Amino acid sequence: MKPVIAAIDLKAFYSFVECLDRKLDPFSTPLVVCDVERGPGTIVLSVSPFLKASGVPSRLRKRDLPKRDDIIFAVPRMARYIEMSAKVVSIMLDFVGEDDLHVYSIDESFLNLGPYLKFYKKTPRQLVRMILEKIRSETGLFATAGIGENLFLAKSALEFEGKKSKDAIGEWTKTDVQTKLWPISPLSEMWGISGGLQKRLNEIGIESIGELANAPEELLIKYFGVIGKDLRDHANGIDDSNIREKYIPKETSLSNGQSLFRNYKKSEMPVIIREMSDDLALRLRLEGKKTGLVCLMIGYSYEIGGGFSRQLSLVKSTSENDIIYDGLLSLFRKFCEDKPIRRVDIAFGKLSFDDVEQLDLFLDSKKQFGKRQLRNALDEIVLRFGRDAVLRGSALLEESNVIKRHAQIGGHRK
């Protein structure tokens, strides 16, 4: 059966939710979702449709907001958005089976409508309209959609037509590509092309989507590998992805990173690294894994720029907080210069299952066992009573931010 893909996107999702929860009309309320306590450089997560219509871009920083005093600042509530998002996905699952749904982000999903059109006795557009109406009547949220014979066409129809059209639905076929996709510029407007990729495409003489579509495939593969092939296919409206073939990435590493709220001195950093490594080691243990490689990436302040990224193989794979921290700390001491620091990322690689333990000849096995038991008990307390139930004393230090971070989801307030 020919797939009919719909890409559905929630309009100005976070600010829409904030308006609805305040019983305000998103189309006449100047509201932004943005953590007011953070500096002027902080990102505005979402802009209400009213502000968008007045020309405010959807991605901007707080300092770039128009100077008007009636703007309502809503503090992000990620847990609430996740809850609303699940409600919307639940509505989508009233129409299609789980196999035919692909949740792409908190406010965007793809649905394969092909197998259901006969059952509903509807055209794709009619069925999508039904879904959008149900989302609206049950949650109050507005959604926009794109329809196409593959994921790329659906996504493009959504971006370039659905979001602008009166009925909030765009519908593209392969034959529309030449007239609707090729004229779009710059290249980075097309899904899958970042600013950097656009620059590299320009360097080999490709300036427009039409040129990309007609460029020799061998050339693109030579410069960009499989991505080059995909890009050329996309520009021709071709996408071989099958929504039913769920791609589950093999997790080969775990990582955790943060941009700090202020510049940190070198001497303040061990506390931060310890807190991040404790949290990531807990995630490691929850997945039943141990790590054989630790990586540390440090970014210096915005003014200075630069940083470093180094890794260290551990003698023996482990899931022990202390050994992991020692590895990270030795990297930090060895490579960090005495400059203000603004960004830290840590990662664990060479993951393996933590089911057997090699006893160490040179360590007291009783002590090792005791340590493990203590750690298991602490993990259990944290799992049962929350991440702040047991903390290191260092959480009280001025430089610590573990409690603040535990109150966040994806770096924003819960």
Partner 1 sequence: MSGRGMKKWLPFSSLEEQKPSLQQMKYEKGKCPKPKISSDQAEQIDEQLHDYKNKIFLITYYEDGYLLTLEERIKKVDCQSLLIRTESRTISLKNLINLQISKIIQ
Residue 399: Cβ-neighbour burial (10 angstroms; 0-12, 13-18, 19+): middle
CB of 98 to partner 1, least distance (A): 7
- Out of 196, 216, 249, 393, the only residue in the binding site for partner 1 (CB under 8 A) is 249
CB of 11 to partner 1, least distance (A): 18
DSSP sequence for 179-240: IIITT--SGGGSTT--HHHHHHHHHTT--SHHHHHHS-HHHHHHHHTHHHHHHHHHHTT---
Query: Is the Cβ of residue 245 or residue 303 nearer to partner 1 in the bound state?
Result: 245
Does the protein bind partner 1 through residue 392 (CB under 8 A)? Answer: no
CB of 108 to partner 1, least distance (A): 9
Does the protein bind partner 1 through residue 258 (CB under 8 A)? Answer: no
57-94 b/e with 16+ CB inside 10 Å = b? eeeeebeebeeeeebeebebbbeebeebbeebeebbee
Does the protein bind partner 1 through residue 250 (CB under 8 A)? Answer: no
Is residue 137 within 8 Å of residue 122, measured between CB atoms?
A: no
Does the protein bind partner 1 through residue 46 (CB under 8 A)? Answer: no
Query: Is the Cβ of residue 221 or residue 323 nearer to partner 1 in the bound state?
Result: 221
Q: Restricting to residues 173-202, which ones interact with partner 1 according to CB under 8 A?
A: 192
Query: Is the Cβ of residue 50 or residue 172 nearer to partner 1 in the bound state?
Result: 172
Does the protein bind partner 1 through residue 239 (CB under 8 A)? Answer: yes
Binding residues with partner 1: total (CB under 8 A): 35
* Angstrom distance (rounded) from CA 87 to CA 80: 11
The stretch near partner 1 (CB under 8 A) out of 111-119, 160-168, 237-245, 383-391 is: 237-245
CB of 155 to partner 1, least distance (A): 9
Catalytic residue list contains 159 = no
* Strand partners of residue 10: 143
Q: Nearest Cα to 127, choosing from 138, 137, 115, 140?
A: 115
* Angstrom distance (rounded) from CA 114 to CA 27: 34
Is residue 62 within 8 Å of residue 56, measured between CB atoms?
A: no
Query: Is the Cβ of residue 105 or residue 126 nearer to partner 1 in the bound state?
Result: 105
> Pattern of binders to partner 1 over 58-87, x per CB under 8 A?
--------------------x---xx-xxx
* Biggest CA-to-CA distance, the chain: 73
- Residue holding tokens 């995909």? 230
DSSP sequence for 227-274: HHHHHHHHHTT-----TTS--------EEEEEEEEEEE-GGGHHHHHH
Query: Is the Cβ of residue 114 or residue 270 nearer to partner 1 in the bound state?
Result: 114
CB of 174 to partner 1, least distance (A): 16
Query: Is the Cβ of residue 161 or residue 230 nearer to partner 1 in the bound state?
Result: 230
Does the protein bind partner 1 through residue 382 (CB under 8 A)? Answer: no
Q: Nearest Cα to 210, choosing from 232, 189, 188, 239?
A: 232
Q: What share of the chain is helix, strand, coil (3-state, %, to 5)?
A: 45, 20, 35
- Out of 233, 268, 345, 354, the only residue in the binding site for partner 1 (CB under 8 A) is 233
Q: Restricting to residues 114-153, which ones interact with partner 1 according to CB under 8 A?
A: 151
Residue 217: Cβ-neighbour burial (10 angstroms; 0-12, 13-18, 19+): exposed
Does the protein bind partner 1 through residue 226 (CB under 8 A)? Answer: yes
CB of 106 to partner 1, least distance (A): 6
Query: Is the Cβ of residue 98 or residue 337 nearer to partner 1 in the bound state?
Result: 98
Does the protein bind partner 1 through residue 241 (CB under 8 A)? Answer: yes
Q: Nearest Cα to 353, choosing from 261, 284, 298?
A: 284
CB of 89 to partner 1, least distance (A): 6
Is residue 308 within 8 Å of residue 299, measured between CB atoms?
A: no
Is residue 173 within 8 Å of residue 125, measured between CB atoms?
A: no
CB of 181 to partner 1, least distance (A): 17
For residue 221, what are the CA distances in angstroms to 57, 226, 233?
Answer: 35, 6, 12
The residue annotated as part of the active site, out of 18, 108, 171, 275, is: 108
Query: Is the Cβ of residue 242 or residue 313 nearer to partner 1 in the bound state?
Result: 242
> Pattern of binders to partner 1 over 87-116, x per CB under 8 A?
x-xx--x----x---xxxxx---x------
Q: What residues line the site for partner 1 (CB under 8 A)?
A: 78, 82-83, 85-87, 89-90, 93, 98, 102-106, 110, 151, 192, 221, 226-227, 229-230, 233, 239-243, 245-247, 249, 409-410
Q: Which residues are catalytic?
A: 108
